[in-house]
Amino acid sequence: MIQAKHKLIIALDVPDRQSVRQYVTMLAPYAGMFKVGMELYYSQGPGIIEEIKSLGGKIFLDLKLHDIPRTVGRAVSVLAALGVDMLNVHASGGLAMLQAAVEAARSAQQPPLMIAVTALTSLDERVWRQELGFGCSIEEKVRDWALLAKQAGLQGVVASAREIEIIKTHCGREFQVVTPGIRPSGSEPGDQKRVLTPGAAIAAGADYLVVGRPILQAPDPVAAARQILEEIEPVSTDLNVGSCLVLDT
């Protein structure tokens, strides 16, 4: 399951260092990366990055930066210097903001993979059109944002597995897609709306899958992680695609 491991990002959506140490120590053999999101980063600060690195974990810092270009550029400079492996911004911030993020990341000693968040997987078409007021479909807007991110120089996007094909068609097979909203068969979707199973997401062309609750809240987190790897290993071997899988919370 070595190849499959590098496709899995485990979301550390926990608030304290003790839980982080416990899960990273336990799950490092089964994860290509660990996701540090807002809850963990805001409660523990930048020191949690060094903590995870000291335990041998690679890091996807999921803060979804979205502000004026100057502010985002400065924030990316600070965060990239922490030695994270992946970092994201919101695609909806516009071309100038995305370019500022890319330029700042490139100046780091070890530049992280820069990706842009498109449409959150908690959104469905009703919310998209009625509450947010978009006149196009989610898929169409995700395509547009992915093209904008590529134009700005980012290496990929965060998007639902349901939008992978349109992204790859318009941005190229090498353009990375990090896929949240992954739920193993039989799992509760929770607050996620646009979901797929791990195997289906990899078959669709996902490069990375992010998984949180289906692993962390399982009676046996190691067994849950291994089950996901066993599901995606034959698919990823057959397709020889992708790098990582993120099961979102």
Copy the structure tokens of residue 95: 């071309």
Distance separating alpha carbons of residues 161 and 53, to the nearest angstrom: 29
Distance separating alpha carbons of residues 76 and 132, to the nearest angstrom: 28
Distance separating alpha carbons of residues 77 and 120, to the nearest angstrom: 25
CB count within 10 Å of CB 75 equals: 18
Q: What is the CA radius of gyration of the chain?
A: 17
Just list the catalytic residues: 64
Copy the structure tokens of residue 173: 């097979």
Strand 208-211 and strand 156-158: the pairing is unpaired
Copy the structure tokens of residue 71: 């502010």
Distance separating alpha carbons of residues 18 and 85, to the nearest angstrom: 22
The DSSP bridge partners found for residue 245 are 8
Distance separating alpha carbons of residues 226 and 200, to the nearest angstrom: 17
Q: Distance of CA 11 to CAs 46, 82, 174, 237, Å?
A: 17, 19, 24, 24
Asked if 49 contacts 27 with a C-beta cutoff of 8 angstroms, the reply is: no
CB count within 10 Å of CB 173 equals: 11
